[in-house]
Structure 1
Amino acid sequence: MSSVNVSEDASPANINLKQLKEAIPAECFQSSATTSLLYLARDIIYAAALVYTALQIDSIPSPWLQAVAWLAYTFAQGCVGTGLWILAHECGHGAFSPYKGLNDFVGWVVHSFLLVPYFSWQITHARHHRYTGNIARDVVFVPPTETELKEGNHRLSKLLEHAEDTPLVTLARLVQFQLIGWQVYLVSNATAGKKSLPDTDNATTSSTTANHFTLTSRLFSPSQRWSVLLTDIGLLLTFGFLYFVSTRVGVKTTLLLYLVPYLWVHHWLVAITYLHHTHPDIPYHTEETWTFTKGAMGTVDRSCMGFIGRHFFHEIVDYHAVHHLFPKIPFYHAERATHAITPLMGDRYMEAKNESFLGSLYSTFKSCNYVAERRDEKNQAGTGQLFWVLKRE
């Protein structure tokens, strides 16, 4: 596990959102439809060029070279697809342009093409931003607590057994996590906090489902059903398009052109989100002690993806803390905004450096098992902060 480098300047413990916002140049909050559309056009050109090139692979005489070419294509297209995914994510936050209609249209088209439920996920992702770091109400990668595990000793034993897994078993679990973690979340709301669902008075209560596709899902209020319907229409159109493509180039080629890059895309997005919010030095907070600013600052910027992260992933790996504080700042202003607030945040700004992305993913997945509330040494009262209980070496 790499160490976290913090800003050298001390900062007041009670730094607030207003002070942070005032430190950021006003132009960082301004999005440009032209700039964003140019990035979108660039990524679409990349994707189209890769597809055109891939359609020539079968003409390569050597099957071994064909296999290498397909591997290169699927990896590269996965990187490009991740960039497109991130641009649609910008749309969902209103950071793509000043125009809500344009944001939602672009986001719906791009995310639907990537089989992401745009409006449905936009709704639940907003809850993640609203409650980041809240052990009860966050919706993404909320860890089990020591108290919860002790209520069912068999679960605790199982978790501790996993902590002692061999590297091969840990790797197998990680691969499973990366391959289907996103899909499991979409269909079951897995890893969400116990109180992450909307208030029952406002939510649809006639259903026990908590997925992103059903109009009566408990994730949504009755007024949001039209958004879920539009989401589903977008996904059905994409399935129809893929079926049409398969009738022209064949099922095998369609799977290589689309399915394998799709898996790469969601591998990257699951890993990126997980590493942004999971680190031994990042606490979760109880409902009583949590605040929006505490939660938003409980993220890690990771400078470990090099050219791929900065060019294809639109720097989402490098500058995520400022995104949680001010999600309407477009990604192309995130670096400048981050540099503006780090002196004020002091040691509350967390940045992991000198690490490999995949190495950090593996070590974090193996080490971070569950969280326990830290106690005040003087009176043994709970501090409201829950830290990771790490694997014992």
Structure 2
Amino acid sequence: KHCFQKSTTTSLSYIVRDIALVCTVFYMGTQIQYAPSFALRCALWALYSVFQGFVFVGIWILAHECGHQAMFDNGAANDTFGLIMHSFLGVPYFSWKYSHARHHRFTNHMEKDTAFVPAKKDDGMHLMSKVQDKVKAIFHMTEDAPIVSLIFLVGHQLIGWQAYMLFYASSGYKSLANFKDPRTTSNLSHYSPFSPIYLPSQRLAILVSDLGLIALCYGLYYATQVMGLTQVALLYGLPYLWVNHWLVAITYLHHNHGDAEHFEQGTWTFEKGALATVDRDFGFVGRELFHGIIEFHVVHHLFPRIPFYHAEEATGAIQPMLGKKYIRDNTSFLKALWRAWTQHQYVVDHETKPGVLVWAK
């Protein structure tokens, strides 16, 4: 019971801390232009982009927690802070909140999960499956060349997030909230109030999310008038690209593991899907800047309204009860990403469990 209790003071302290970090790192970034040499400026911009990217992801995760109503007891407070923080990072808050809720509801369901639904061999079950099949055909023809795998992985990390937001890529073919026809593949944008991703009753909230993004665009435009396009691109654009990378990497690895099963309609249950989630370790950055979303994700899927600052304690409480059902992988994060990308291409039927699919070996 203690782990479910939210503290307004604690939640606000994390928000204030992360905003202060963003401002501090931003100010340091504005001083890079005064470095005495071009080489030093390049090195400092690289360092700035990486660290500010980490801090931006922390802001993103706090907004994600607001979407789960896990930061404050008051729903309006959650949505207000979540809308502001996600809009700052170019995320349509309510749009993401609604589709992400369906991911939690149908985790690892082969038809109804909303993201990273794996392909079956010789079968396209995703929305946009024709495009994906062409990409995968090229990949399979060249998969033995590490450089080709790396190029595809970099592309996945850089544009995967926007591909999902614009085209609902990698989602299950029955995952639409307003689903009518399995062949419907038009207007699958998170930014459209009329997308079948949402119910008609949710359209106004989607419009509010879009207004938040319009405010961001105006803010960036104003900043370019004051600071110049190059400076804004360096101060905001570079960290934004790192956010794209980390979001895709983190979510991709949450349910991508040799022991994480996927399920057909007849065998899926909420418990099975939630437990097909992987806890990993990302050191100081994961625990302190990413708020433990990598380290304690299993408990988040079982109880998404537990505040992140209680997730470690809650994990310690449930892990003994889960026994072998609990999946934890201590492989280094980037190594695990490379392994998943190169080895987990599609799923096949489990040899002894009907309706259960495992990664092909």
TM norm structure 2: 0.94
Instruction: Measure, in 2, the Cα distance between the counterparts of 1:171 and 1:206.
Output: 33
CA distance in 1, matches of 2:297, 2:167: 26
SS at 1:142 equivalent:
coil
Tell me the alpha carbon deviations over residues 82-122 of structure 1, each in whole angstroms, 9 at most, x when there is no partner: 00000000000000111101100000000000000100110
Deviations 1:170-201 (A, max 9, x none): 00000000000000000111000011112446
Identity of paired residues, percent?
45
Residue 164 (structure 1) shift: 3.1
Change in Cα spacing, 1:343 to 1:206, as seen in structure 2 (3 Å) is: closer
Residue 325 to residue 245, structure 1, CA distance change in 2 (3 Å): same
The answer to whether the Cα contact below 8 Å between 2:139 and 2:149 also exists between their aligned partners in 1 is: no
Alpha-carbon distance in 2 for matches of 1:163, 1:60: 43
Q: Structure 1 residues 68, 265: closer, same or farther in 2, change over 3 A?
A: same
Question: How many angstroms apart in 2 are the aligned matches of 1:387 and 1:160?
Answer: 21
CA contact (8 A) 1:89 1:107 kept: yes
- What's the counterpart of residue 310 of structure 1? 287
Instruction: Give the match for residue 319 of structure 1.
Output: 296
* CA deviation after TM superposition for structure 1 residue 160, in Å: 7.3
Is the alpha carbon distance of 1:136 and 1:248 closer, same or farther for their aligned partners in structure 2, counting shifts above 3 Å? same
Residues in 1 aligned to 2:170 and 2:151: alpha-carbon distance in whole angstroms = 19
Question: C-alpha distance in 2, partners of 1:65/1:162?
Answer: 42
Residue 164 of structure 1 corresponds to 143
CA distance in 2, matches of 1:157, 1:107: 36
State the partner residue of 1:386: 357
Structure 1 segment 53-132 matched on structure 2, within 5 A: 53-132=28-107
Structure 2: unaligned runs, 5 residues or longer: none
AA at the equivalent of 1:79: F
Partner of 2:26: 51
CA distance in 2, matches of 1:245, 1:259: 12
What's 2:338 paired with?
A: 362
**Contact preservation (8 Å) 1:207, 1:217:** no
> AA paired with 2:319?
T
Q: Unpaired runs of 5+ in structure 1?
A: 1-25, 377-381
Alignment of 1:268-279 (within 5 A): 268-279=246-257
Give the Cα–Cα distance (whole angstroms) in 1 for the partners of residues 237 and 39 of structure 2. Answer: 21
1:297 equivalent in alignment to 2:275: yes
Q: Who wins on radius of gyration, i.e. which is larger?
A: 1
Aligned to 1:41: 16
- Name the count of aligned residue pairs: 355
Counterparts in 2 of 1:144 and 1:159: CA distance versus 1, 3 Å: farther
User: In the TM superposition, what is the alpha-carbon distance from 1:358 to its structure 2 partner?
Assistant: 0.9
Query: Does the C-alpha gap of structure 1 residues 146 and 109 become closer, same or farther in structure 2, counting only changes over 3 Å?
Result: same
1:8: which partner in 2? none
What SS does the aligned partner of 2:71 have?
coil
- Which one of the candidate residues 225, 233, 245 is aligned to 2:211? 233
* Distance in 1 separating the partners of 2:141 and 2:356: 24
Number of the residue aligned with 2:321? 344
- The DSSP-based 3-state class of the residue aligned with 2:357 is strand
Aligned-partner residue type, residue 158 of structure 1:
A
Query: C-alpha distance in 2, partners of 1:272/1:200?
Result: 28
| Aligned residue number for residue 351 of structure 2 | 375
Give the structure 2 partner of residue 258 of structure 1.
236
Root-mean-square deviation (CA, aligned residues, Å) is 2.1
